[in-house]
């Protein structure tokens, strides 16, 4: 897909990463000698992304300077300094900069070690706007590094997603990266809302799909998780 765009969510406060985020925004905290957001840029660059939108709020100036240095002329800043819009609201605000074709969304702390096939290449090749409005990267909960939650989704045999049932553990967790159609954001519920609202709408329509990560997902949400992620990266390179 030519002219591919991506939205990187970088506006959060990173409260679970304190005290490291007292003076450094979470996207700029280093993992294995490289800022978190630069790991994301590498994955997206390799997938052929040409245009970026990055939202900012907490310690916004630091992030803005950093990302403009990474991709001069290819980054648009979506300014949320006046108030956080959450992931859904932030994406709606950024839509005019993402174009009218399907685009990638990624959290600024999205990490995975690739398996046999590049994950984002599979996502791009598998996206079918005739039957889906969003295609999520899913990580198996049992192998995810640094994750101890109950998971998010069941993956049906046809690729459709359903939510984890109450009081159960789901086999897959959303890995913080997806491909979406602008149509998924039609009729937003307000100015501030989570992408989970959109995901649930798409589930009801049968238009939310998933791709299983062919690799190892690294959930980097706390200072301790940084050490776990770096250990996994070193082990993969051995």
pLDDT at 117 over 90: no
- Which class is domain 4-237? alpha beta
Confidence of residue 169 (pLDDT cuts 50, 70, 90): confident
- In whole angstroms, give the CA distance from residue 15 to residue 12: 8
Q: Quote the pLDDT of residue 72.
A: 75
* Mean pLDDT rounded to a whole number for the chain: 92
**Which residues 6+ apart lie within 8 Å of 25 measured at CB?**
10, 14, 58, 59, 60, 62, 63
| Predicted local confidence at residue 221, as pLDDT | 87
Entry pTM: 0.94
Angle at 22 between CA 195 and CA 108, to 5 degrees: 35
Express each pLDDT in 219-237 by its tens digit. Answer: 998 998 899 889 888 888 7
Q: What is the DSSP string of 135-181?
A: EEEEEETTT-BT--S--SEEE-TTSBEEEPPTTS--SEEEEEEEEE-
Q: Per-residue confidence at 3, pLDDT binned at 50, 70, 90?
A: confident
Could you tell me the residue ranges of all domains in the chain? 4-237
Rounded Cα gap, residues 92 and 189, in angstroms: 11
SS3 232: helix
């Amino acid at each position: 897909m030519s002219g591919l765009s991506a939205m990187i969510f970088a506006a959060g406060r990173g409260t679970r990463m304190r005290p490291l985020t007292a003076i450094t925004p979470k996207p700029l905290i280093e993992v294995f000698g490289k800022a978190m957001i630069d790991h994301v840029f590498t994955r997206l660059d390799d997938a052929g992304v040409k245009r970026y939108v990055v939202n900012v709020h907490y310690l916004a100036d630091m992030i803005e300077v950093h990302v403009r240095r990474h991709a001069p002329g290819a980054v648009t800043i979506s300014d949320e300094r006046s108030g956080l819009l959450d992931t859904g609201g932030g994406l709606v605000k950024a839509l005019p900069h993402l174009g009218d074709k399907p685009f990638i969304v990624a959290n600024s702390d999205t990490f995975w070690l690739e398996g046999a096939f590049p994950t984002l290449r599979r996502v791009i090749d598998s996206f079918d706007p005739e039957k889906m409005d969003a295609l999520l990267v899913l990580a198996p909960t049992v192998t995810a590094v640094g994750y101890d939650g109950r998971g998010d989704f069941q993956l049906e045999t046809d690729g459709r997603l359903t939510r984890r049932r109450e009081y159960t553990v789901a086999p897959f967790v959303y890995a913080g990266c997806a491909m979406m159609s602008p149509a998924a954001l039609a009729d937003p519920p307000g100015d501030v809302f989570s992408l989970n609202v959109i995901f649930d709408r798409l589930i009801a329509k049968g238009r939310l799909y998933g791709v299983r990560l062919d690799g190892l997902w690294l959930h980097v949400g706390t200072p301790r998780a940084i050490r776990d992620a770096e250990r996994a990266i070193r082990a993969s390179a051995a």
